Chain A
Amino acid sequence: MWDIIKLLLNTTVFAATLRMATPLMFTAIGGIYSERSGVVNIGLEGMMLIGAFAAVAVSYFTGSAWLGFLGAILAGALMGFIHGVASIKYRANQVVSGTAINIFAGGLTVYLQRLIFNMAGVSPAVPRINDVTIPLISKIPWIGPIIGKQNPLVYLALLTVVISHIVIFKTVWGLRLRSVGEHPRAADSVGINVYKTRYVAVTISGALAGAGGAYLSIAHLSRFVEGMTAGRGFIALAAVIFGKWNPLGALGASLFFGYADALQMRLQEIGIPTQLVQMLPYILTMIALAGFIGRAVAPKASGEPYVKEG
């Protein structure tokens, strides 16, 4: 029993939780922007994957991991914008467009991988973003080992959560974003540009998903692995819902799912099958949706193309 408690409160597990939660945080925050504007983004998984690849490719050619990170953000933003063009301008079914992006991303990354690196499966090692040690904090007992020595992207993800919370709930643009997602016609009637707001939101969502993917390829690892996002885009989507379309909620959900991820290996050591732990985020999201943990309600116009009258 004591062993299990020690395991559950282990600082190494907590540090790993933060690492596992980072790509989810970036991507889930991205998902929130998109969903809040009324555009469902099932394509997060594909955008992450393209981000992960772009990061490695740019890092490989420039020798700079940070430029790689930038490349991932731009590549993700481009995919987000394309999703926007389909679902905003051409009124595509957003779920279908997102599915198309996921399939496209799976093909494109492997295609380019073979073209650029002439290797199947994994890319060669590229420069990665190195971990940093924060001088004073790392010395604090218990907290130090958890947050004192991490990858810069971990801190950046946390910062993104805080900034996004402020942007969405405390700024005029945030108010517009939410009104466009709740009631586009009313927003339009008071002079808010629905299309533009949605384009910006979906593009941001792609950029953040790209950042999440970059974390996997050039911070957590230092290479691209075929299909390396392994469903994390969908877990991020789950975190959006579990966190009730709220950045702080998504942070909590990401940390919780990251914790489950970090515990997995250790639980297996004491005889609990990994797969059953891996199912947890998905089961919990369904339970949350069903209203057993307080009802999760989506933005009202989420998924609906907006057609301007006249």
Chain B
Amino acid sequence: MLDRVKKVPVHVIIAPILAVILALIVGSAFVLTVGENPLHAYKVLFQESFGSMRGFATTLQRATPLMFTGLAVAFAYRAGLFNIGAEGQVYIGAFAAAWVGFTFSNLPKLIHLPLAIVAGMLGGAIWAAVPGILKAKLGIHEVINSIMMNYIAYFLTDWLVLGPFAGSSWIPESPRVKASATLTRLMPPTRLTTAIYIALAAGLIVYLILWKTKLGYEIRAVGLNPTAAEYGGISVAKTMVIAMAISGALAGLAGMEQVLGLNNRFIQRFSPDLGFMGIAVALLGKNHPVGIVLAAILFGALQTGAAAMDRLTAVPRELITILQGVIIFFVAAEYLFSRFIKVKGEA
């Protein structure tokens, strides 16, 4: 076993790269069905997302919420918890941020914006803490409860923007947030905002918490072996709830970005599966902040290039969704690569 552990750094980098390459090859088969040259399609795709400053800014904007949800999933994962509920936490965080944004007026930006951001984190944290508590106190698997909470979040926010907090337009959405609660755009006309700084800072903070603090040590200990952790004097239940709450706060930030940065209001069912994509990002990034930032940029690039590929080639933009699914699949089944590289057997 020891010789395998030593090889982890290589496998950590190679397996995700292999997964992406393999997914692009599978994607090629789909491109060929529409009679298009895969290399041409991919060239158009990546030229759009990396070929110009404006394109790259859009790539970063698309990557921002994925960084948050990727970090969210990874943080819980380090505590041995699978947060498939990030999607619901995104919605609740988004609504909380929007509510602070459109309710209070006459506040200086210096107070209003941070307040809205914190509300987003709090909303996500509370939503995630519920399955965390149910797991810690009653031992119920967090996956099922977080899936259920996703749907409760959908319908709850549907109701909020259709009923009590309906905006003035015919689209189901909340009122617009006040200018004092919006994030500053960095490169108009792109919608890249200061949220990218918050995302990068969040990555750094997650790194510091996990590897430089006592809490992080406890979280990782619980993730590796809860029984041993409990025996070593760590309160497993408490650690799990805290890990889920922080995970939810990170997911809530993704919702915050969509509301205070992108749309400036809460739109019914706005999320393009941000929470589920977070699972892909965390996995591809090997649950490490650096990997997550890179993986989020890759997914952001795919989404940015999709429209151009759709317009300039015969390939429908849904190829991107297929690719994302296939990437997750290959990363999940990395044991597939065990013949080529050493893969640490998952316990």
Contacts and interface: CB of A to CB of B under 8 A. Distances in A.
Do A and B make up one complex? yes
Nearest to A285: B148
Contact of A99 (B30, B158, B279): B279
Nearest to B33: A115
B148 A100 contact: no
| Interface secondary structure of B, over-half rule | helix
A92 B335 contact: yes
A79 B155 CA distance: 29
Interface in B297-347: 316, 318-326, 328-329, 331-336, 345-346
A95 B332 CA distance: 9
Contacts of A90: 333-336
B18 interface: no
Interface in B129-167: 134, 138, 140-141, 143-145, 147-152, 154-156, 158-159, 162-163
Contacts of B277: 103
A282 interface: yes
B8 interface: no
Interface in A76-112: 85-86, 89-93, 95-97, 99-108, 110-111
13 contacts: A42-B147, A86-B329, A86-B332, A90-B336, A96-B283, A101-B325, A111-B319, A115-B33, A115-B34, A273-B159, A286-B148, A289-B134, A307-B345
Interface of B: 30, 33-34, 82, 84, 134, 138, 140-141, 143-145, 147-152, 154-156, 158-159, 162-163, 273, 276-277, 279-280, 283, 316, 318-326, 328-329, 331-336, 345-346
Nearest to B283: A96
A146 B185 CA distance: 59
Given A95-B84, A285-B148, A103 B335 contact: no
A159 interface: no
Contacts of B144: 237, 241, 285, 289
Given A42-B84, A99-B276, A234-B147, A110 B329 contact: no
| Interface secondary structure of A, over-half rule | helix
Contacts of B332: 86, 92-93, 96-97, 100
A298 B144 CA distance: 11
Contacts of A290: 134, 138, 140
Contact of B140 (A107, A234, A276, A289): A289
A279 B155 contact: yes
Contacts of A89: 335
